[in-house]
Amino acid sequence: MTRAFNFSAGPATLPEPVLRQAQAEMLDWNGIGASIVEISHRSQDFIAVAAQAEADLRALVGIPDDYAVLFLSGGATTHQALLALNFAAPGQVVDYVVTGHWGKTAIKQARPYCTVNIAADGEAGGFHDIPARDSWRLTSDAAYVHITANETIHGVEFRDTLDVGEVPLFADFSSSIASEPLDVSKYGVIYAGAQKNLGPVGVAVVIIRKDLFERAGQPRADIFDYRSHAERDSMLNTPPTWNWYLAGLVFKWMLAEGGVAEFARRNAVKSSLVYDAIDASGGFYRNEVAPAVRSRMNIPFFLPDDTLNARFVAESKAAGLLALKGHKAVGGIRASLYNALPVEGAQALVDFMRDFQQRNG
């Protein structure tokens, strides 16, 4: 068996030691005679797995005690709607800064519940840059300001946490959580679907500053209420136990590898390798994002001629480099370099890129 280097944007590559451990524990977890997915979420065994995963994520990301950490189903998109339901009054203004596809999705999910003010929008510039902070038209009494920390499709990443004053900052960190140190205390809410940097699809992590639970929000069922989930340790109903367990293994692996500081180092190495290869290609490869906000996680790039895309994807796949086809909204090629993608994967990609250019340039 050979495992390829997997550049998928999500669901994405997982650490091989984690998959091996899950494989070894598949039929019999910890000697209990059953898989962890075959037992009650209310059993002491699963509660211990769940609590350990939360403790490890808190240690990994540096989440202060005045924040709740929820492990919920639904994916990031569901939470884009729940944020509005939980934290904005009916019709209240919410400020959105749009720097790519997922910012637009977030607005679509919030619109039925509140008045969306697009405080800044990078679309006119093709989402190649983040609108300058002093151009944002923020609302002084907005329920929150929403940003997408890393735009997975357009490859644009906030490199600093920008100050938005008293209004809480809510951030979609789906594709960049735990990829570099993060000052959680600057945010009201941080949320992330697990399937990019944290684990398998099917669970989302929602980190909420606890004072926000005082907000009335909008009429909603208990199951859509973050406070109810927090009061029941994310076990108001059956949580996605397998996904939670597997994410917990990823957290343990990351801590053992040296934590977020080490992954920040690796991610900088990987993304520099690929951007340097693009920039040194004499225009054969093109990335159109402003250098200051280029994503370390997702690198979209273009070939001189779109007819070369299919050849690039087929030949890279044959060379053991998977899932490099660009998203249809942008086209071209996209390399996702999440935490679990090793530095050797990025090196193999740039070696392939140089070889491909020589044969097709």
**Which residues are near ligand PLP by CB under 6 A?**
10, 75-77, 102, 148, 152, 172, 174-175, 193, 196
Nearer to ligand PLP, 199 or 332 (CB): 199
Residue type for position 287 = N
Owner of token pair 């790039």: 301
Nearest distance from C-beta of residue 30 to ligand PLP, angstroms: 29
Angle at 66 between CA 81 and CA 196, to 5 degrees: 50
Q: Residue 111: which residues within 8 A CB-CB, separation 6 or more?
A: none
**How far are the Cα atoms of 155, 180, 331 from residue 277, in angstroms, in the given order?**
16, 23, 19
Owner of token pair 């809510």: 170
Nearer to ligand PLP, 334 or 352 (CB): 334
The catalytic residue positions are 102, 172, 196
| CA gap 144, 138 in Å, rounded | 10
Nearest distance from C-beta of residue 103 to ligand PLP, angstroms: 9
Nearest distance from C-beta of residue 211 to ligand PLP, angstroms: 25
Contact (CB, 8 A) for 300 and 154: yes
Nearest distance from C-beta of residue 191 to ligand PLP, angstroms: 9
| CA gap 251, 266 in Å, rounded | 16
Nearest distance from C-beta of residue 193 to ligand PLP, angstroms: 3
Instruction: State the residue number with the nearest CB to ligand PLP.
Output: 75
Chain centroid to CA 127: how far?
A: 18
Nearer to ligand PLP, 196 or 270 (CB): 196
Nearest distance from C-beta of residue 116 to ligand PLP, angstroms: 17
Contact (CB, 8 A) for 239 and 50: yes
Nearer to ligand PLP, 54 or 172 (CB): 172
Nearest distance from C-beta of residue 156 to ligand PLP, angstroms: 11
Nearer to ligand PLP, 148 or 281 (CB): 148
Two structure tokens written together for 233:
């340790």
For residue 14, the tally of other CB atoms under 10 A from its CB is 22
**What is the three-state SS of 3-31?**
CCEECCCCCCCCCHHHHHHHHHCCCCCCC
| CA gap 36, 31 in Å, rounded | 10
Nearer to ligand PLP, 175 or 241 (CB): 175
| Length of the chain counted residue by residue | 361
Nearer to ligand PLP, 175 or 234 (CB): 175
Contact (CB, 8 A) for 348 and 5: yes
**How far are the Cα atoms of 7, 200, 324 from residue 75, in angstroms, in the given order?**
20, 11, 23
| CA gap 186, 168 in Å, rounded | 8
